[in-house]
Amino acid sequence: MPGEVLRAAGRVERIGEGPGGALMVVEAPVGRCASKGCDCVDHAQALEQVLAAVYAHCQDPSIELIGHRVVHGGALFDGPTVVDDTVIDRMESLLEMAPLHMPPALAVLRACRERMPHARQVVCFDTSFHRSMPPLAHRYAVPRRWYTDHGVRRYGFHGLSHQYVVHRAAEMLDRPSAQLKLISAHLGNGASITAFDRGRVLDTSMGFTPLEGLIMGTRCGPLDPAVLLHIQRRTGMNLAAMIHLLNTQSGLQAVSGLGRDLRAILAARAEGDPDATLAVEMYVHTLRKYIGAYHFALDGAQALIFTGGIGENSAAVRALVLEGWAHLGLELDGVANAAMTAGQAGFITRSTSPIKALVIPTDEERLIARQAHAATAGGQLRGRP
């Protein structure tokens, strides 16, 4: 049906729009994604559900194009890319750089190629939007050879989400994005914040992998790398095991002791649980530090965007982050903030506030659909060979 969007278990959508036949968008999930209607208990189950949804569509000859969200494009991909064997090989070489995300994405990509050979596939990368980031932000101050020979730099992630909400914010502010300085906070299971400077990314909080930056559901965010050496000396644990713990057993889950779902942590905080209270305080404190830093790095942002499961749905977190900034020119409208409903986009600052704050539901799938169409228009192939 034209215009129809089917949201199956996990993140498979069939979007019946655009030129030619139907298009399916696949986002292999990382863990529980309850806010989008998926009831999986763990990552393996989520992957199983996505594959089942792919198989359910595989007899459908009208699906001509499949768009995939892929988290890491490294230095090998700088835009949406039509998939062939070489592309798969290059993606294989990036597996280690996003260990939570790349294996399921590749598994789903392979399943789609095998089961739906009639469809073209396009991979759309979280990293592409951040390719415009200047060296002052994307370089780490480490030995030069790490950069030139080993690709050690800030890549940045959630680019599909940041790009989508920046575009929507420009519409809502009625100004071209080339004139806007924006801060976009994507707060989901993974979380990152991006400073957008009049058409390009100035800086973003995730780094070489999606581990750096903000405190997340199960990821640590800020950490002195010397901690790894200290723990290795004291416990004998190897580096791979530590990185695994930093990805899966850290963040809100580690501090609260209550798992990664911020809803449960906020509920425990309301009951006076000290670990839950500390987890929320650390989460908000880290976020406020980044917002302050980016506001100054941009020489003054015009608007701040909240998106992702937490950014879109938690008025409490938004209030904790934004309270007390009137002296900087951001006047929270507490009533508008509390009144925001799921799926709604809108302003949560007073109309007189010089700096605006907006809630914008992200739609990575829609941007993937657009990018997949654009990448296949005229048989054009993008990305470095």
Binding residues for ligand ADP, rule: CB under 6 A, are 30, 33, 35-36, 188-190, 217, 260-263, 266, 308-310, 313-314
313 is in an annotated binding site: yes
What string marks each residue from 141 to 180 as x (binds ligand UVW by CB under 6 A) or -? ----------------xx----------------------
Q: Compute, in degrees rounded to 10, the torsion defined by CA atoms 256, 257, 262, 266.
A: -60
Identify the active-site residue in 126, 197, 203, 333. 126
Sheet (strand 5-7) strand order: 5-7, 12-15, 22-26, 63-70, 120-125, 81-82
78 is in an annotated binding site: no
Find the farthest-apart pair of alpha carbons in the chain and give their distance in angstroms, rounded. Answer: 61
With binding defined as CB under 6 A, does residue 309 bind ligand UVW? no
Q: In angstroms, what is the minimal distance from the CB of 210 to ligand ADP?
A: 10
H/E segment holding residue 299: none
- For the chain, give percent helix, strand, coil, nearest 5: 45, 15, 40
Q: What is the CB neighbour count within 10 angstroms for residue 141?
A: 4
Tell me, what amino acid is at 234? R
Of the listed pieces 44-52, 186-194, 273-281, 313-321, which binds ligand UVW according to CB under 6 A?
186-194
CB 146 within 8 A of CB 152: yes
Candidate list 177, 184, 189, 349; residue touching ligand UVW; CB under 6 A = 189
188 is in an annotated binding site: yes
Candidate list 104, 190, 213, 221; residue touching ligand UVW; CB under 6 A = 190
Of the listed pieces 104-112, 183-191, 240-248, 365-373, which binds ligand UVW according to CB under 6 A?
183-191
261 is in an annotated binding site: yes
By beta carbon distance, the residue nearest Mg ion is 188
What string marks each residue from 316 to 345 as x (binds ligand UVW by CB under 6 A) or -? ------------------------------
Q: What are 332's strand-pairing partners? A: 349
Tell me the two tokens of residue 377: 């228009």
Residues numbered 143 to 202 that lie near Mg ion (CB under 5 A) are 188
In the block, residue with structure tokens 């062939």: 84
17 is in an annotated binding site: no
CA–CA distance, 195 with 291 (Å, rounded to integer): 9
263 is in an annotated binding site: yes
Query: Reduced to 3 states, what is the DSSP secondary structure of residue 306?
Result: strand
CB 242 within 8 A of CB 228: yes
Q: In angstroms, what is the minimal distance from the CB of 18 to Mg ion?
A: 23
CB 137 within 8 A of CB 125: no
With binding defined as CB under 5 A, does residue 104 bind Mg ion? no
Query: Reduced to 3 states, what is the DSSP secondary structure of residue 214?
Result: coil
Q: In angstroms, what is the minimal distance from the CB of 21 to ligand ADP?
A: 28
Does the annotation count 78 as an active-site position? no
Half-sphere exposure of 351 (CA within 13 A, CB side): 0
136 burial (CB, 10 Å; 0-12 / 13-18 / 19+) is exposed
Q: In angstroms, what is the minimal distance from the CB of 326 to ligand ADP?
A: 25
Q: In angstroms, what is the minimal distance from the CB of 110 to ligand ADP?
A: 22
Q: Label residues 205-232 b or e (16+ Cβ within 10 Å = b).
A: bbbbbbbbbbbbbbbbbeeeeeeeeeee
Of the listed pieces 173-181, 187-195, 197-205, 257-265, which binds ligand UVW according to CB under 6 A?
187-195
Residues in contact with Mg ion by CB under 5 A are 188
Q: Which parts are annotated binding residues for Mg(2+)?
A: 364
Give the residue numbers marked as catalytic: 126
Q: Which parts are annotated binding residues for ATP?
A: 186-190, 261-263, 309-313
Residues in contact with ligand UVW by CB under 6 A are 30, 71, 126, 157-158, 188-190, 210
Q: Which parts are annotated binding residues for substrate?
A: 69
